[in-house]
Every structure is written in structure tokens, then in C-alpha cells.
Structure 1
Amino acid sequence: MSGNLRKNIKPGLSVSIVEKQNQRNGQLTTGVVKDILTNSPQHPHGIKVRLTSGKIGRVKEIK
């Protein structure tokens, strides 16, 4: 599933995100979605979410 579409992402889903400071090197952080922060139905760089750990980033992979 694509991390670019808001409809594919729900709270409680396990995802991999790229945080702002890791956008250049592409390092992924895995966690569980707490909140969806992007309001639009799609975003070319991935939907922005907050994980249960408090980290914020754009979804690159849905587990």
C-alpha cells in the first residue's frame, strides 16, 4: 500500500517513516501511528504522522 494516500493510513497501523532530519540519508524509523497530521487526501512525499513514540515524519512504508 502507498504511504502517499491518507485513506491507507489509520491509527494503530505499523509503518516506517522518514523524519525531517533524516530526509537526506533516507533513514527509516518504524513505529505505530498515533495521529495523522496531513489533512489532504494525498501527498507526493508521504502522509505526515505522529507515532506513539512521539516522533513525527512522512510515511514511506506500511507494514
Structure 2
Amino acid sequence: MSGTNRADIKKGLSVSIVLKQDQRSGTLTEGIVKDILTNSANHHHGIKVRLQDGAVGRVKAIHD
């Protein structure tokens, strides 16, 4: 599942995000969603979230 729809993302979900500094390389960071920062219903680059460890980035994958 991609992270482009805000309705698919909930606090506590395990996700992979790409950090701002990793956008060129595409390196993914895994973590648990703490806050959802994007207000719009969807975003073509991924919904921006803050993980529990404080990392901020756009969701690229949602894990079960």
C-alpha cells in the first residue's frame, strides 16, 4: 500500500518514509507514526508524518 492517501495512515502504524535529505538516494527509514503532518486528503509524493523517534518524512510504504 502506498502512502499517498491520508485515510490509509493512522497513528501507531508501521511505515517506511523517505527523509528530506534522503530524497535523492531514496533511502527509506522505518518507524511508527506519531503525528500526521499533511492536512490534504492525498499528496502525490506521500503524506508527511512524524515518527515516534522524531524523524519527519513522506510515507512511501505502509507495513502490516
Mark yes or no: TM-score above 0.5. yes
Between the aligned partners of 1:17 and 1:42, the Cα distance in structure 2 is 16
Quote the residue 1:59 is aligned against. 59
Q: How many residues align?
A: 63
Normalised to the residue count of structure 2, the TM-score between the two structures is: 0.97
Structure 1 vs Structure 2 CA RMSD? 0.4
In structure 1, list runs of 5 or more residues that go unmatched: none
Secondary structure in structure 1 of the residue aligned to 2:7: helix
Normalised to the residue count of structure 1, the TM-score between the two structures is: 0.98
Between the aligned partners of 2:2 and 2:58, the Cα distance in structure 1 is 12
Query: Which deviations, in whole Å up to 9, do the C-alpha atoms of 1:1-40 show, x marking residues without a partner?
Result: 2200000000000000000000000000000000000000
Runs of 4+ in 1 over 2 A off after TM superposition: none
